[in-house]
Amino acid sequence: MERIKPIEAKDRIILALDVDTIEEVIKYVDLLKEYVGFFKVGLPLFVSCGFEAIDVIKEHGGRVYFDGKFQDIPNTTAKASINLMKKGIDFFNISSTGGSKMLTSTITECNNYAKKNNMEPPIILAVTLLSSFGQKTLTNELGIEMNISSYVLKLSQIAKEAGLSGVVAPDTDAAQIKKELGEDFIVVCPAVRPTWAIVNDQIRIVSPTDAIKAGADYIIIGRPITRAADPTAAAKLVITEIEEALKEKRNNL
């Protein structure tokens, strides 16, 4: 896990590459690899470009976080995850709502594969709830009566018990997750939008400052940087905001 531990403020940024072509991938990696920690490859880019997108990111000096949110029967999810490792992807996520058996099977099989092949074990996160979900969706559509924060914590506890390295969860739950599950349990905060950015289609959004002060280790941010008139300048603004939040957090200890 030390290999992904953030050292500088920029290391905490996972840039969502919400693009469709290899040309765009190359453009943003070359432009921003010095200003972000990881490049997130999600389903739209992966379906469009496949593993070529991942290879190109690495060839151009970037690090990859694969956002596939795998959820299937335990054997299928484990095999899919091992196939990611075979392709050189060691930082990715699966869905916490797949259940403890799926989570445990995946981490066990992946760790066994890593040991057998003299590889570093993967960093696998559990996605708790999509950032487009609110309490209304949780209760009225999924029939789950729990408070949304309590439900996120419960899913995080299941992930920790299964042996995963951390979770993808909103800033509103980061502090409680860290308190209950330990500072070493990674929290990645999605749907991050600086105050100067457009909200788009997310419901539970947060600023970089709030996410870092709440305890997030990493933030996922995409369009506010990639669609900015000057992506490099936008990335620098986010870095500055993270640095100031970290400084304020240290001063309040």
**Residues with active-site annotation:** 69
Angstrom distance (rounded) from CA 197 to CA 217:
21
CA distance 248 to 243: 9
C-beta of residue 81 within 8 angstroms of C-beta of residue 109 = yes
| Burial classification of residue 166, based on how many CB atoms lie within 10 Å of its CB (0-12 exposed, 13-18 middle, 19 or more buried) | buried
Structure tokens at 15: 């840039």
Chain position carrying tokens 């209760």? 139
Contacts of 97 (CB under 8 A, 6+ apart): 71, 155
